[in-house]
Structures are given as C-alpha cells and as structure tokens.
Amino acid sequence: MMGHYNQKTTLASLNRKMAFTKRKLRECEFDKQQLEKENAQLREALEFYADTKTYFPQEDNVCSHITMDYGAKARQALGLESGS
C-alpha cells in the first residue's frame, strides 16, 4: 500500500509542476507578444525617421540638429547604412 501512496503523491506533484509550467508558458507567450508589438512600433518609428523625405525644411534658413542628421542615426540602427 505504501508504494501506491507514493505514486499518487508523485502524480499530484507532477500535476502541480505541469500546471505551473503551463502558467509560465502562457506568461512567456504574453511577454513575447508584447515584445513583438513594441519591436514593431519602434521599427516603424525608426523607419519614419530614417526616411529622408520627412526632413524637408519647414521654414527657410531654419535647420535643427535632427534635420541635419537626415535620419542617419536611425538608418544606422536599422542596419541600412554603416556608421560614419
């Protein structure tokens, strides 16, 4: 009889471990989805700033540092050009 009790205890223990593992898997999947969403948003922003068309002057004779950059830093982060 003692061996039978140990089997039930082991089975219960394995069931608890399996339930814990399933919860952790769901958490990881949620984290992965959140990271993929964040990555897409960051990439979209980098692509916007890397597009030289977004840097046309808005006023004559007025240029900011970001305008003078013409997206070079963003294109470098995206791997579209090497650093200077």
50, 78 in Cβ contact below 8 A? Answer: yes
C-alpha to C-alpha distance for 27 and 46, rounded to whole angstroms: 28
Q: Residue 84 domain-assigned?
A: no
Q: Which domain holds residue 29?
A: 2-77
Give me the percent of the chain exceeding a pLDDT of 90: 27
C-alpha to C-alpha distance for 36 and 65, rounded to whole angstroms: 31
* 37-71 per-position pLDDT tens digit: 889 888 888 888 888 877 777 677 777 767 778 88
Q: Residue 83 domain-assigned?
A: no
Q: Residue 40 domain-assigned?
A: yes
Q: Residue 38 domain-assigned?
A: yes
Q: The tokens of 13 are what?
A: 């223990």
**Among candidate residues 49, 48, 43, the one with its CA nearest the CA of residue 65:** 49
Buried residues in 28-52 as b, exposed as e (16+ CB within 10 A): eeeeeeeeeeeeeeeeeebeebbee
| Structural domain total, the chain | 1
Q: Residue 53 domain-assigned?
A: yes
Q: Residue 70 domain-assigned?
A: yes
H or E stretch covering 27: helix 2-50
Q: The tokens of 29 are what?
A: 């999947």
Question: For residue 74, what pLDDT is reported?
Answer: 81
Q: Residue 12 domain-assigned?
A: yes
Q: Residue 30 domain-assigned?
A: yes
